[in-house]
Structure 1
Amino acid sequence: MKTNNIHSALFGLAVGDALGVPVEFKDRAYLKQNPVKEMIGFGTHHQPVGTWSDDSSLTFCLADSLCKKYDVNDIGQKFVKWANEEVWTPHGRVFDIGISTDRALYAIEQGTNPILAGGASEMDNGNGSLMRILPLLFYIKDFKIEKRFDVIKDVSSITHAHIRSVLACFIYLEYALQIVKGNDKWIAYSKMQKNVTHFLNNNAICSQTEMNKFYKILEIQVDDVKIQKLYELEETEINSSGYVLDTLEASLWCILRFDNYKDTVLKAINLGGDTDTTGAVVGGLAGLIYRFESIPTDWIDVLSRKEDIIKLCDKLAKKYEN
């Protein structure tokens, strides 16, 4: 099978997701004693080995929509069809859906414009848009940064419209963009920090207070807090909850601390908490960095609907990979 960035990203994400599903909500202490080392089944959601969650389902829905063209209305309708068990479920039924996502999809069903459907309060900053945003990279990669931000904002806002969730998606995709441009993960990270900081400082996108929420990632000075590089933080300083900022920090910390797909993703899972989403967010980046061939074959082989995912990747690559 001929693979490219799209196969690397989507399979990397789905494998990370499937590794995390059986231990979702298990805490770090439990996983210290019972670490995930291989792909397992059942557990939290009592699903067969290789089962991915809503993270991958919504990622595949976005990718599927982008195979035709960029259309926020179509993306929203794809998400609704998934929730109604019509498309991109691993085994024909939905076994997990976030509260904010559920509310937003219900609003779309009732006729709300998808861009206006997502919650916009500070309490609406779960990781439900970050977990599914990666396929958008291949549509926006040749745009100017201003347009990239606008598109990311719209697609995040289908379920999560608060600026913090939007910024998390923006930072994540800006880092992924630097990777697909051929930079190693360290240079990519440095360029992401520089580009994002410059963009936010020169555009009325958010308040300084909101920008400061990302100080660990962007390495910006906040009051008298000493600037410390994210990868230098101890594991005890890294949270892995369903809060979007925790997920982004944990994911980037794993990426910067480990040097291969397997170890990076297993570390993400064994941080505990929202394991499927941290695994998915890390897995997508690790797939891009280390390539499809680095993902253990036995993990890919047990993945639910593997052949359908291959077809989706091929279709998306035909449209966006030169």
Structure 2
Amino acid sequence: MNSIWKSGIYGLIIGDATGVPVEFSTREEREKNPIKDMTGYGTYNQPEGTWSDDSSMALATLTSIKDKGKIDYKDIMDRFHDWCMYGEYTPFGEVFDIGIATSRAVMKYSNGAKPLESGGKTEWDNGNGSLMRILPVCLYLFEQQKSLNISDDEVIDMVHNCSALTHAHIRSKLACGIYYFLVRSVLRECGELTERLQIGIDNAFEYYGKNNENELGNYNRLISLSQFKNIPKELIKSTGYVVYTLEAAIWCLINTSSYKEAVLKAVNLGDDTDTIAAVTGGLAGLYYTYDKIPASWRAKVQKKDWIDSLLKA
């Protein structure tokens, strides 16, 4: 695996770890006492550099892709089960944060459901639990599309299926699909970050528009990033709802000029701090690169040697 993977995966993990100590804190609390560095303890009483379910599920997915050389839905779900039940892919062998929809999907799979029939399909199953872990899928499919010239239809179908393992409603699938187009544009295009992200948004809306996807309207605030950039912070929500998470991440990216600034802005929105910072951090890592992530933050990441071994070619 190349430097792109290292930049993106560490970007996600470090964003997650920076948000963990203050997850569920209010925006008012963060405004009074903003986070300025990677800290520890807090909400879950975990040491500095401890990452949560966002990174565990991303690393489980990464490990599956690396071991299988492809996207294998059953193997990914088996690894999610091992994470949920036995603490695999965690910093200390213990799961301390897991979403309701994700837990329900893993239990459904454990009781015999097929991988693609495990995720919830209702309006209430649109948390950010698939978006937060989709980056390894996006990176793998970006490389596959680049080398094998596979179609957008094939790529997005696999992205949607990977979402459906835990979150099968079309709104969650769309968030993951949009994220794929954002990842691709950050890696493929030239120019400033906002320009690249706008190309990704344009490509996503063009693709889903051709497919007459009615749910796309939920993401209409993102159509023009030059306008979205100027939306005041009080109109950016930072809960676990997948639409708000994607919006918050993009807002943080286009209103900052470094990895550190983007992640800290995400964390200081409050509420679902770890996931919003993870989603932000993945894209920020890809754009700014691993070397531009603060060295002190990189050094604090728990189980760094193991993560490095996963990211080796």
Same fold (TM over 0.5): yes
Q: Choose from 168, 180, 195 the match for 2:203.
A: 195
Q: CA deviation at 1:182?
A: 4.0
Aligned to 1:266: 264
Q: What's the C-alpha RMSD, in Å, of the aligned pairs? A: 1.4
Amino acid at match of 1:130: L
**Conservation of the 8 A alpha-carbon contact between 1:119 and 1:161:** yes
Q: Matches of residues 182-261 of structure 1 in structure 2 within 5 Å?
A: 182-184=189-191, 185-204=193-212, 206-207=213-214, 210-219=215-224, 229-261=227-259
Aligned to 1:151: 158
Count of matched residue pairs: 304
Q: Matches of residues 1-322 of structure 1 in structure 2 within 5 Å?
A: 4-67=3-66, 68=68, 69-141=70-142, 142=145, 143-184=150-191, 185-204=193-212, 206-207=213-214, 210-219=215-224, 229-314=227-312, 318=313
Provide the TM-score with structure 2 as the length reference: 0.94
Q: CA deviation at 1:228?
A: 7.3
In 1, the alpha carbon distance for the partners of 2:298 and 2:2 equals 13
In 2, the alpha carbon distance for the partners of 1:306 and 1:235 equals 34
Aligned identity (percent) is 41
Amino acid at match of 1:124: D
SS of 1:89's equivalent in the other structure is coil
Amino acid at match of 1:272: G
In 1, the alpha carbon distance for the partners of 2:174 and 2:110 equals 26
Gaps of 5+ in 1: 220-226
**Conservation of the 8 A alpha-carbon contact between 2:87 and 2:95:** no
In 1, the alpha carbon distance for the partners of 2:37 and 2:160 equals 36
Runs of 4+ in structure 1 off by over 3 angstroms are none
Deviation per CA, 1:14-53: give whole Å up to 9, x if none: 0000000000000110011111111111100111111000
Query: Relative to total residues, which structure has the larger helix share, 1 or 2?
Result: 2
Amino acid at match of 1:299: W
In 2, the alpha carbon distance for the partners of 1:203 and 1:103 equals 30
Provide the TM-score with structure 1 as the length reference: 0.92
SS of 1:241's equivalent in the other structure is coil
In 2, the alpha carbon distance for the partners of 1:94 and 1:28 equals 26
Q: Closer, same or farther in 2 for the Cα pair 1:110/1:216, shift >3 Å?
A: same
Gaps of 5+ in 2: none
SS of 2:86's equivalent in the other structure is coil
**Conservation of the 8 A alpha-carbon contact between 2:249 and 2:276:** yes
